[in-house]
Structure 1
Amino acid sequence: VVLPCQYSQGLQDMVTVKWSRLDLNPNTVHQRREGDNLHNQNELFKGRTSMRPDALDSGDFSLTLREPKLSDSGNYTCSIISDEEETKLSDVQLHVKEIPIWAIVLLVLLVLLLLAVSGSLLFHFRQYLKLGKFLKP
């Protein structure tokens, strides 16, 4: 999932880009200054977040969140911090949906049906699957 955040103005000073969720403690989802600074990152997001390597140069502060979970649903804030002043750039509401049980059951039934049909076809045509049957007229 990509959470969008763009900044079109030039950055004169070195800034920190921070993605956060205020309902979590600690609230840091991802943080970048000269490189990723993840020592205060919430444990729920360890190894699952990234930003473009050229984010500070391009102004594209979008956050990629891999393997989204139901618990990832919430309001994410993208902000920049310079000289201890924090400026909010955007809020992104993420709603992660679970796969409905009926879809999982249907998928399992389809796989079982496919296995049954292919098994019965193999059984029915077993005499033709012997190499000698194909070579004889």
Structure 2
Amino acid sequence: MKMLVVFVILLHVSQHALSVEVDEGDKSVLLSCEFHTFNIDESTVVWSRYDLNPTTIHVRQLEGDNLQNQNQRYSSRTSMRTDAMETGDLSLTLREPSIFDSGTYTCTIRRFGVELSRTEVQLTVNRTGGLYRR
């Protein structure tokens, strides 16, 4: 029982909420997520949007990206730093954001199926009236 209470407290402490606003037509947007630990070697980072099906936006493991179950809306538009698992900078770059990308993105770090941390980023993409800056 004590272990469950400690886990729930840690989970609650590790949840964060951020907000980002960009204009449609911007080249890219960075959705921030950080996890400071000495060992995330066996971990998996999953970026998702739970209002979509499939929910997966980007998956990163020590071996690299795993985009097999990625929502097709994000195909070829997402990336993470190649050293993300070593540095703990698990931020997601989303290229060419459109108004359809507005929503809540969740960055979840799991190790052996146990959730270690969760960060939510609310992205708002503003319509620019058809003018695109590239």
- The match for 2:72 is 43
CA–CA distance in structure 1, aligned partners of residues 35 and 116 of structure 2:
11
Report how far residue 84 of structure 1 moved: 1.3
Q: Which has the higher helix share?
A: 1
- The match for 2:37 is 9
CA–CA distance in structure 2, aligned partners of residues 12 and 88 of structure 1:
11
Q: Is there any run of 5+ residues in structure 2 with no aligned partner, and where?
A: 1-28
CA–CA distance in structure 1, aligned partners of residues 105 and 34 of structure 2:
14
- The match for 2:51 is 23
Identify which of structures 1 and 2 has the higher relative contact order when contacts are C-alpha pairs closer than 8 Å and 6+ apart. Answer: 2
Report how far residue 13 of structure 1 moved: 4.4
Letter in 2 for 1:61: L
Taking only the aligned residue pairs, the percentage that are identical comes to: 51
Q: Which has the higher strand share?
A: 2
Report how far residue 88 of structure 1 moved: 3.5
CA–CA distance in structure 2, aligned partners of residues 26 and 98 of structure 1:
25
Q: Is there any run of 5+ residues in structure 1 with no aligned partner, and where?
A: 105-137
Letter in 1 for 2:119: S
Letter in 2 for 1:24: L
* Structure 1 stretches of at least 4 aligned residues deviating more than 4 Å after TM superposition: none
Flag the structure with larger Rg: 1
Q: Do 2:40 and 2:86's aligned partners in 1 also have CA atoms closer than 8 Å?
A: no
Length-normalised TM-score, structure 2 = 0.72
Structure 2 vs 1, CA of residues 8 and 81 (structure 1 numbering), >3 Å: closer, same or farther?
Answer: same
